[in-house]
Structure 1
Amino acid sequence: MLFHYHFWTPFVEETEEFYKANGVYVYQRIGKYQGDFQTFNPPQDWEEFRNKKIIFRIIEMKKGAINITFGYGKKIMFDHIGFFVSDEDNQKILNKARKMNLNVQVNERRTFIGTPFGFRIELQTHHDAVESENSLTKINKLEISTKSDGLSKLLMNLFEEDIPQIISTVGNKTTILRAIISNIKLKKTVDPNGVKLYIE
């Protein structure tokens, strides 16, 4: 199940405000302040720390079966998408990724698989990454632009099945063009990083 995407962005506060306006809530904020990583989780808000020189490593937001994360970057950069998989499928996909000579990074919380298209794929087995895997509020599809063709074929080889949740197009940069979601009322439609949200 597709559940997640992550960006690096200079527009950290603006990105949080965009998703909050659409009903997605802040789960956690972790940032580097005065040389140490610290949490700035709710109920703290931006009025309390906006003027501090915090470099946010991650802001995690959730609603239903949706998990969106972002952190500070000097420029907008799409980093990865995430899929929920079973423990068994996780191992199968990892084995296939290694056979395909893709870079694999495994830790206790999640696994990342590198792609030749400039972004990574996260495999997630922990159920607490979202509020509810069975929620009607979910990411149905992502339209991803890459600089070269072949993303759909790579996903089919990696997962050993078609992945209709990913719509692949070729463009001048690698990014998410559209996120098609369900069971949410949109008040704003284009996030500060250029992702257009649609309801299905």
Structure 2
Amino acid sequence: MLFHYHFWTPYVEETEKFYEDHGFRIVQRVGKYQGEFQNFNPPLKWEDFRDKKVMIRIIEARKGSINITFGYGTKVKFDHIGFLVSEKEQETICDNAGRLDWKVDRGERRTFISTPYDFRIELQTHKDLVDSMDDKIEELRMETKKEGLEDDFFKLFGQPVKQIHTVNGNNVTIREAVMEKFPANSAVDPNGVRILSKGAQ
């Protein structure tokens, strides 16, 4: 199940506000302060630490089965999408990645697959990263610099990934995300992702 995407962005606070204003719950904030990573989680507000010039590494926002993360970068950069899978599915997908000659980086909490399309795929087996099975990502419309992603996804997952649609372009990013029960017909986040409510396309 497609559940996740991650961006690096200079608009960290603005991105948090956008998703919070559209019904997402901010779960965590991790930032580097005085050389060490620390938590600045809610109920702390930005006013509580803005003057400390914290370098935000990750902010996690959740809504139902949607999990979106973002952290500070000097420019907007799309990093990865994530799928919630069973352990058996993860093994099969990793085997298929090997056949594609895609690098697999297994970790304790998650596995990353590097693609030749300049973004990564996260495989997640821990269901505690979503609040419920409601409010799904119905579709992602992605821009890639090279063709073939949808065919390669078929080879990687062993079946069509119907939520992913691609167009060729000059960037690697998510152009649009269609979400179930998104509270606005259409809105654009600070990183250029246009979000549509299911049925409002």
> Normalized against structure 1, the TM-score is what?
0.97
Q: What does 1:1-200 correspond to in 2, within 5 Å?
A: 1-132=1-132, 134-135=133-134, 137-186=135-184, 189-200=187-198
Post-superposition CA distance 1:52-93 (Å, at most 9, x none): 121111000001000000000000000000011111010010
Q: How much has 1:188 moved relative to structure 2? A: 6.8
Which 10-residue stretch deviates more, 68-77 or 97-106? 97-106
Structure 2 unaligned regions, length at least 5: none
In 1, Cα distance between the equivalents of 2:185 and 2:142?
23
- Contact 2:4–2:83 under 8 Å retained in 1: yes
Kindly report structure 1 stretches of 4+ aligned residues shifted beyond 2 Å.
none
Considering only aligned residues, what root-mean-square deviation do their CA atoms show, in Å?
1.0
Q: Residues 18 and 188 of structure 1 are in contact (CA less than 8 Å); yes or no, is this contact kept in structure 2?
A: no
State, as a whole percentage, how many aligned pairs show the same letter. Answer: 53
CA contact (8 A) 2:31 2:58 kept: yes
CA distance in 2, matches of 1:106, 1:3: 19
C-alpha distance in 1 between matches for 2:101 and 2:144: 20
Amino acid at match of 2:47: E
| TM-score normalised by the chain length of structure 2 | 0.96
Distance 1:175 1:122 in 2: 16
SS of the aligned residue for 2:19 comes to: helix
Number of equivalenced pairs: 198
Unaligned stretches of 5+ residues in structure 1: none
1:26 maps to amino acid: I
